[in-house]
């Protein structure tokens, strides 16, 4: 039995008291050596993946939570120490969730002062004319996360365009990415499997997004924030979380306890999957009408109790399915419907009746659509 | 035994949003070598401090995976986790890593 009074010495400097065990390497190290190792690894990831170029304007997607807070801190430090020559900004989305986002935005406001970074907040209210509070009142708690995610993604793009940035960085960590890889395997979503494994995405879109924490363990991010006493916000969103994702998260955490390397190994698996060329891929497309990039849609059978999953189709694909669109009243004012034809109806029926449709806001927002097919009601929202 | 127990990363929400607790843990010493360990402290915390959703804190006989534990600012993985022995005036910190990013 080990007692805590057997003080362990840092295996890197052989001087100071060890303060933590690194999950990646199982090394026992002191806080000073940890800071250096943590920051240096992220620096190496940035260099080896050529994430930035000198003079780049870079927006940090800032939620006030642990990951983006640590990212803002570390990125501004690396920019200073290694002279990257980046112009950094904090970019936050205000979904309009009372008691959650208003509190976390206060944290972002403090970060703005603490790190001396300019802050831009884009709100659902300004962009879309409503808040998540209003939407939840309207559509209820089911699927509101997927719904909200769609809009957050686009709100970040809008904010990034406003700031005229070259890149958007997000705080997704190794645990998040392992979880998403696992989820995409569980859903058979091959297209998203390869996309979610890359450190940079959307290079062909308006603003590339990158994840400097792709190989950084959540445990280390939280330990870093704790030892550095960084100010972050940690309350769950008051609207219901995604249960399927929750299970995947729990599974990853259980694996990590038995074998911490499992997280990096899942990421490695995701990166090295070779998809057979005969596999049909739903790729990201561009809407013919509005030109906006549209990724896959998640179809939800409104009458079944499972909140997640279902087949996925692509917005504005060449094949159309006839559908009736009903839009919640609050959204009606900002919607128009992409015209749909029926030339491939029979083909689609054979595939199990996949539905295609697309609806856009006046200013080219993707919207939630409700399909009525043979008296059955489906909703589709563009997924994360 | 006088201990300071801190909750962070959202775990404080399980105990009336109070982050820092100065507590006195009664411990029956059977013989002189007997020491209060984290194993006993966990069940004491669960009984005395956690007011709601204990499954966010405990899984099986230990903390839920994703909850970090530090004893006097030292990762409990370095001191034997549940077997870590505690002494007067120790500071035990529990931080959840599971809340938003
Ligand atoms: Zn050291």
Q: Tokens for B4, please give them.
A: 């300071």
Range of the domain at B59: 2-96
Residue A303 and residue A220 in one domain: no
Question: Measuring CA to CA, how many Å separate A352 from each of A283, A313, A345, A375?
Answer: 20, 12, 11, 16
Same domain, A69 and A136: yes
ipTM over 0.90: yes
| A18 falls within a domain | no
- Determine contact, residues A231/A110, Cβ cutoff 8 Å: yes
Q: What's the pLDDT score for residue A325?
A: 33
CB A266 within 8 A of CB A178: yes
∠ CA A316-A322-A326 to the nearest 5 degrees?
85
B14 → chain A, closest CA residue: A235
Pair of tokens at residue B16: 């009336």
DSSP A92-159: EEE---TTTHHHHHHHHHHHHHHHT--EEEEEHHHHHS--HHHHHHHH-STTHHHHHHHHHHHHHHHH
Looking at the structure, tell me whether residues A322 and A189 fall in a common domain: no
Which phi and psi (to 5°) does residue B62 adopt? -140, -175
Q: Give the CATH number, domain containing residue A129.
A: 3.40.50.620
Give residue for tokens 């995409």. A184
For ligand 1, the distance from its centroid to the CA atom of residue A12, given in whole angstroms, is 5
Same domain assignment for residues A261 and A313: no
Verify that A177 and A297 share a domain, yes or no: no
> Which residues of A are less than 8 Å from B66 in CB distance?
218, 249, 253
Specify whether A205 is located in the same domain as A330. no
Q: Indicate whether A316 and A372 sit together in one domain.
A: yes
pLDDT at position A302: 39
Pick the residue with more confidence: A154 or B12? B12
Query: How many residues in total does chain B contain?
Result: 101
Contact B95 A8 (CB under 8 A): no
Cα A23 to averaged position of ligand 1 atoms, centre (Å): 16
Does residue A297 lie within any of the structural domains? yes
Evaluate whether residue B22 is within a structural domain. yes
Residues of B with CB under 8 A from a CB of A: 8-10, 13, 35, 64-66, 68, 70-80, 83-87, 93, 95-101
C-beta atoms of A65 and B100 within 8 A? yes
Is residue A46 domain-resident? Answer: yes
Give the CATH number of the domain where residue B9 resides.
3.10.20.30
Asked if A254 lies within 8 A of B65 by C-beta distance, the reply is: yes
State pTM to two decimals: 0.79
Contacts of residue A19 in chain B, CB cutoff 8 Å?
73-75, 78
Across the interface, of B13, B72, B93, the residue whose CB is closest to A235 is B13
B19 domain residue, yes or no: yes
**Helix runs in A201-317, H state only:** 218-227, 243-258, 262-272
Cα of A263 to ligand 1 centre, how many Å? Answer: 25
Residue B67 lies in a domain: yes
Question: How far does residue A57's CA lie from ligand 1's centre (Å)?
Answer: 35
A-B contacts at Cβ under 8 angstroms: 101
Q: Are residues A246 and A308 in the same domain?
A: no
> Are A355 and A256 contained in the same domain?
no
Is B69 within the bounds of a domain? yes
Nearest alpha-carbon partner for A2 in A24, A15, A21, A30: A21
What is the distance in A from the centroid of ligand 1 to the CA of B73?
15
> How many alpha carbons lie under 13 Å from residue A135 in its C-beta half-sphere?
25
In a domain, A171, yes or no: yes
Q: Flag whether B21 is in a domain.
A: yes
Asked whether the beta carbons of residue A19 and residue B73 sit closer than 8 angstroms, the reply is yes
Please, which residues bridge with residue A242 across strands? none
Q: Report which of A76, A82, A84, A83 is spatially closest to residue A118, judged by C-alpha positions.
A: A76
**Domain limits at A331?**
289-379
Can you say how many angstroms the Cα of residue A223 is from the centroid of all Cα atoms in its chain?
Answer: 22
A246 and A315 belong to one structural domain: no
Does the residue B20 lie in any domain?
yes
Please tell me whether residue A368 adopts helix, strand or coil conformation.
coil
Between CA B37 and CA B87 the distance in angstroms is 9
User: Considering its fold, how many domains does chain A have in total?
Assistant: 2
**Rounded distance between C-alpha atoms, residue A229 and residue A206, angstroms:** 36
The Cα B23–Cα B15 span in angstroms is: 14
Cβ separation A65–B101 shorter than 8 A: yes
Closest-CA residue of B relative to A71 is B101
Task: Examine residue A311 and state whether it is found in any structural domain, yes or no.
Answer: yes
Chain CA centroid to CA A185, Å: 17
Task: Write the residue in A19, A237, A257 that is nearest to B75 by C-beta.
Answer: A19
Q: Is the Cβ–Cβ distance between A326 and A302 less than 8 Å?
A: no
Task: Please state, in angstroms and rounded to a whole number, the distance separating the CA atoms of residues A124 and B65.
Answer: 35
Q: What is the spatial distance between Cα A12 and Cα A26, in angstroms, rounded to a whole number?
A: 12
Give B48 to chain A, closest Cα distance, Å.
Answer: 22
User: Minimal Cα–Cα distance from B43 to chain A, Å?
Assistant: 19
Q: How far, in Å, from the CA of A30 to the mean position of ligand 1?
A: 4
Number of domains in chain B: 1
Q: Which of A247, A272, A297 is the last residue of a domain?
A: A272
- How much distance in Å is there from the Cα of B8 to the middle of ligand 1? 25
Instruction: Report the DSSP pairing between strands B67-71 and B91-96.
Output: antiparallel
Cα–Cα dist A330/B89, whole Å:
57
- Mean pLDDT per 10-residue section of chain A, whose length is 384 residues: 68 96 95 97 97 97 93 97 97 87 88 93 84 75 64 85 95 94 84 84 85 97 96 73 75 92 94 72 44 40 34 30 33 31 32 35 38 44 40
Bigger pLDDT: B101 vs B20: B20
CA–CA separation, A258 vs B55, rounded Å? Answer: 20
Same domain, residue pair A225 and A190: yes
> For A379, what's the count of Cα atoms within 13 Å in the CB-facing half-sphere?
19
Is A19–B84 a contact, with Cβ atoms under 8 angstroms apart? no
Q: How many CA atoms lie within 13 A of A50 on its CB side?
A: 2
Residue A65 within a domain:
yes
Q: Quick one: A309 and A243 in the same domain?
A: no
**Chosen domain end from A241, A272, A303:** A272
């Amino acid at each position: 039995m080990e007692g805590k009074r057997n003080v362990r010495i840092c295996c890197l400097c052989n001087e100071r008291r060890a303060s933590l065990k690194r999950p990646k390497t199982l090394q026992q190290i002191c806080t000073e050596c940890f800071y250096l190792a943590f920051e240096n690894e992220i620096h190496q990831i940035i260099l080896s993946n050529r994430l930035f170029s000198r003079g780049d304007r870079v927006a940090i997607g800032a939620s006030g939570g642990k990951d983006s807070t640590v990212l803002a801190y570390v990125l501004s430090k690396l920019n200073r120490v290694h002279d990257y020559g980046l112009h950094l900004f904090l970019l936050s989305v205000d979904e309009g969730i009372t008691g959650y986002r208003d509190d976390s935005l206060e944290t972002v406001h403090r970060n703005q002062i603490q790190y001396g970074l300019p802050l831009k907040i884009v709100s659902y209210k300004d962009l879309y004319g409503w808040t998540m509070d209003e939407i939840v009142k309207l559509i209820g708690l089911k699927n509101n996360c997927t719904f909200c995610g769609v809009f957050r993604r686009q709100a970040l793009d809008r904010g990034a365009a406003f700031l005229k940035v070259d890149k958007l960085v997000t705080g997704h960590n190794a645990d998040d990415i392992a979880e998403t890889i696992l989820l995409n395997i569980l859903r058979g979503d091959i297209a998203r499997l390869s996309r979610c494994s890359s450190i940079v995405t959307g290079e062909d879109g308006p603003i590339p997004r990158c994840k400097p924490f792709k190989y950084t363990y959540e445990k280390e991010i939280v330990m870093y924030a704790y030892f550095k006493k960084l100010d972050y916000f940690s309350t769950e969103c008051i609207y219901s979380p995604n249960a399927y994702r929750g299970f995947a998260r729990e599974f990853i955490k259980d694996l990590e306890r038995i074998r911490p390397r499992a997280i990096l190994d899942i990421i490695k698996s995701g990166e090295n999957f070779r998809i057979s060329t005969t596999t049909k891929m739903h790729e990201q497309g561009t809407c013919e009408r509005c030109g906006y990039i549209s990724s896959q849609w998640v179809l939800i059978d409104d009458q079944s109790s499972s909140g997640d999953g279902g087949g996925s189709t692509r917005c504005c694909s060449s094949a159309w399915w006839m559908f009736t669109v009903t839009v919640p009243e609050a959204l009606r004012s900002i919607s128009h419907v992409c015209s749909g034809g029926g030339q491939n109806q029979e083909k689609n029926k054979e595939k199990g009746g996949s539905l295609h449709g697309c609806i856009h806001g006046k200013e080219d927002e993707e919207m939630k659509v409700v399909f009525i097919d043979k008296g059955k009601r489906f909703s589709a929202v563009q997924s994360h | 035994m006088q201990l300071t127990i801190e909750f962070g990363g959202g775990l404080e929400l399980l105990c009336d949003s109070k982050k820092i607790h100065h507590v006195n843990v009664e411990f029956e010493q059977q013989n002189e070598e007997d020491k209060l360990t984290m194993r006993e402290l966990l069940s004491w915390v669960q009984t005395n401090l956690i007011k709601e959703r204990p499954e966010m804190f405990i899984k099986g006989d230990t903390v839920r995976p994703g909850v970090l534990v530090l004893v006097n600012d030292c990762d409990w993985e370095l001191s034997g986790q549940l077997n870590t022995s505690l002494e007067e005036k120790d500071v035990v910190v529990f931080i959840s890593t599971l809340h938003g990013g």
